[in-house]
A and B are shown apart, each in its own frame.
Chain A
Amino acid sequence: MKIKLAIAGLSVLALALGGCSDDPSGSPSNPPSATLNTNTISILIGSSGQAETDAVKKAAADWSTLSGIPTEVIVASDLNQEAAQGFASGQPADLLYVSTDSLAGWTANGSLEAYGSKLSNLSDFYPGLREAFTIDGTLIAAPKDFSTLALVINTRLWEEAGLSDADYPTTWEQLESVAAKLTTDGRVGLAFGAELQRVGVFLAQNGGSVVANGTATANSSANVAALTYVQNLVSSGSAAFAADIGAGWGGEALGKELAAMVIEGNWITGAMSSDYSDVAYKAVELPAGVQKGTLQFTNAWGLSADGDNKDNAIKLVEFLTSTDQQLAFAKAFGVMPSVISASDGYRAQFPQMSAFLLGADYAQNLPSATGVAATIVDFNSTLGQLKDSDPKALLDAFQTNLEAALG
């Protein structure tokens, strides 16, 4: 109760301080009202680390100063659970990260409000990213940023193994051989998470995908061959899953030098600079199988239908997806801007991120239809045992589940 009072107090204070801010009358759907709605806007995020948390908090605070509306950033340890519980309680966070996986379900049960058409900067978002959050022609939520996967290399270890810039692997054979060269006692050449969200790059590079045109294609021969390649890599000992070498994820494996190369997304730069600033690294494009391939991930700013300050929350989203703010996020935790207007600035500021941007040209999205997420979780739960399993059997099981989910 005290907390509620305290928040109310803060709101009053903020109102007093921000009373002179300009009247936000840009949006036609929001006729200017005599009093500013100063209900706190809560923002639920699933953070990749302190860098991201701090950046979002700072952005929210900056906007609060501008608008006079208090904001509160909540870091979820399990975003989906906390979001779902919030929706069911009738008191959800006003804004929240929404993955492509959760979008369909939360839209279908009315938890999320479609606000895409109310955005003043609607046309600035990359069309491919808008597509990912569009259901039946309606843009549900604004893409907040995006990421692709690349091969991230510890440059010191690379040189120590006698390798040079000319040796960056561009084929699977080359990847295998440099991974073997980089493997030493207590360190593997290559590490990645035991999940489709990493292993999937090999499927894409072999011309495969998990779902094509709404049909499950998990156990295609291209995928079986790709997963067999991964199995050989792991069995040879020159590659390992992050968990098997005691790392929580690829970034930790690279940072603690448990692995010389990892397959990770551009978010790794945030963690490397905050947690392992003494490790030098370089990101290069992933090698190609029969074709170039990587995966792309994107999240959106979901707006809760039950929120009590929705119009202002949309304004906050516009602020968070403005050019300058997108570049600030890119700088803080390594994401790539979701708006076209920031792309030049991004290229100029982050030339070392070119591998990730290049990947955007050929990156695959993971499927996001309702029910597919659970099948991916299940598939991931079997991937850890890839070494002792039959790749075809794992993919067959995945296929069966996918077919059931896609109905």
Chain B
Amino acid sequence: MRHRRGTATGSAHWIVFALLLAMAVVYVFPFVLQLANSFKTDSEASLAGMSLLPDTWTTAAYRTLFTGSAFPRWFANSVIVAVAVTAGRVLFGSMAGYALARLEFHGRQAIFAFVVGVMAVPGVVLLIPKFLVIRELGLYNSYLGLIVPLLVDASGVFIMKNFFESIPRAVEEAAYVDGASVLRTYWSVVLPMARPALMSVVILSFQGSWNELSHFIVASSDPALVNLTKGVAQLVGGGLGAGNQYPLKLAAATLMTIPMAILFFVFQRRIMNASTGAVKE
């Protein structure tokens, strides 16, 4: 009896394993195809897209991107914006999170409600409004216009707030007793303790701003300020003038994915925790 049960679960185990393996192939294979086809010629990619090994290897697509398009500039802009936005979100998010979790001041509840309420508005309905304000403030077609509106993100505030609420007050209180100011305590006592939560915010912020598209569409039209998502979107959406040119598009998609992939594989565990942490109750 016992033995039979064992083989039954054993085979069930292998069925599950095979099923998951098949699913994993479905999830990974598209990216393999993307990479393979970016090294093909134009016609081979459109006629024999399924083959994993190009008949004629060519790096023409990558060369075109780097020498014949503004791709390097897009890449640089994406880096500039993502770094600035990440820095801002970490700093402002942790400050606000700390204040909301620890400091007692009048209006705290109101601010919390305000942050919650304003953030409840879905992003896509803000396209037109954001454009109007950026324009009124004279930030249109400037790096400030790309960066500043993204500098605060409520998920960061919440992650930090939750984190600060979960750690004991004792250490900070010791600092206060020693006569340290709030700012000093925050900077040299609280922040170092918050490293895990800060890492989560860093990852989510970088990912968020690296992958953001709609904000950049409405915040500028200057070709010098185009970032990767917008540049590639326009390239794919007709910027090539005519023809499909799949290798070129796939090469662009591959290159813009690489930084995220590196971040992902380096901080794999933390990323997966961060993304559940942002929602976890």
Contacts and interface: CB of A to CB of B under 8 A. Distances in A.
- The answer to A–B direct touch (Cβ < 8 A) is yes
Interface of A: 1, 3-4, 47-50, 52-53, 72, 74-75, 77-78, 82, 85-86, 88-91, 246, 248-249, 251-252, 255-256, 271, 275
A52 B221 CA distance: 21
Given A3-B222, A3-B224, A77 B135 contact: no
A47 B239 CA distance: 8
A61 to B, nearest CB: 16
6 contacts: A47-B241, A50-B241, A85-B221, A86-B221, A248-B242, A252-B244
Kindly name the residue among A3, A4, A271 whose own CB sees the greatest number of chain B CB atoms within 10 A.
A3
A196 B5 CA distance: 69
A275 B243 contact: yes
Contacts of B155: none
Interface size of B as a range: 20 to 34
Nearest to B237: A77
Contacts of A3: 222, 224-225
SS class, residues of chain B in contact with chain A: helix
A1 B142 contact: yes
A82 B221 CA distance: 7
Which 10 pairs across A and B sit closest by C-beta, in order of nearness? A77-B239, A49-B241, A77-B234, A3-B224, A89-B140, A77-B238, A74-B223, A252-B243, A47-B241, A49-B242
B141 interface: yes
Contacts of A256: 43
Given A251-B242, A252-B243, A77 B46 contact: no
Contacts of B242: 48-49, 248-249, 251-252, 271, 275
Contact of A78 (B141, B142, B234): B234
B235 interface: yes
B220 to A, nearest CB: 8
Interface of B: 43, 46, 131, 135, 140-143, 218, 221-225, 234-235, 237-244
A80 to B, nearest CB: 12
Contacts of B43: 256
A90 B140 contact: yes
Contacts of A275: 242-243
B234 A89 contact: no
Contacts of B244: 246, 248, 252
Nearest to A48: B241
A88 B238 CA distance: 23
Contact of A89 (B141, B238, B241): B141
A407 to B, nearest CB: 27
Contacts of A77: 234-235, 237-239
A1 B249 CA distance: 30
Nearest to B140: A89
Kindly name the residue among B223, B239, B240 whose own CB sees the greatest number of chain A CB atoms within 10 A.
B223
Given A3-B225, A85-B218, A256-B43, A91 B141 contact: yes
A94 B46 CA distance: 39
Nearest to B144: A1
Contacts of A85: 131, 218, 221
A86 B241 CA distance: 21
Contacts of B218: 85
Contacts of B142: 1, 4
Contact of B221 (A4, A48, A89): A89
Nearest to A74: B223
B253 to A, nearest CB: 16
A185 B79 CA distance: 49
A52 B142 CA distance: 29
Given A49-B242, A82-B221, A248-B242, 16 more contacts: A48-B241, A49-B240, A53-B241, A74-B223, A77-B238, A78-B238, A85-B221, A89-B135, A89-B140, A89-B141, A91-B140, A91-B141, A251-B242, A252-B243, A271-B242, A275-B242
Nearest to A268: B242
A161 B203 CA distance: 62
Contacts of B234: 77-78
B131 A52 contact: no
A210 B235 CA distance: 33
B174 to A, nearest CB: 44
A67 B235 CA distance: 32
Nearest to B219: A89
Contacts of B225: 3
B243 A90 contact: no
Contacts of A74: 223
A86 B221 CA distance: 7
Contacts of A47: 241
Contacts of A53: 241
A78 B135 CA distance: 21
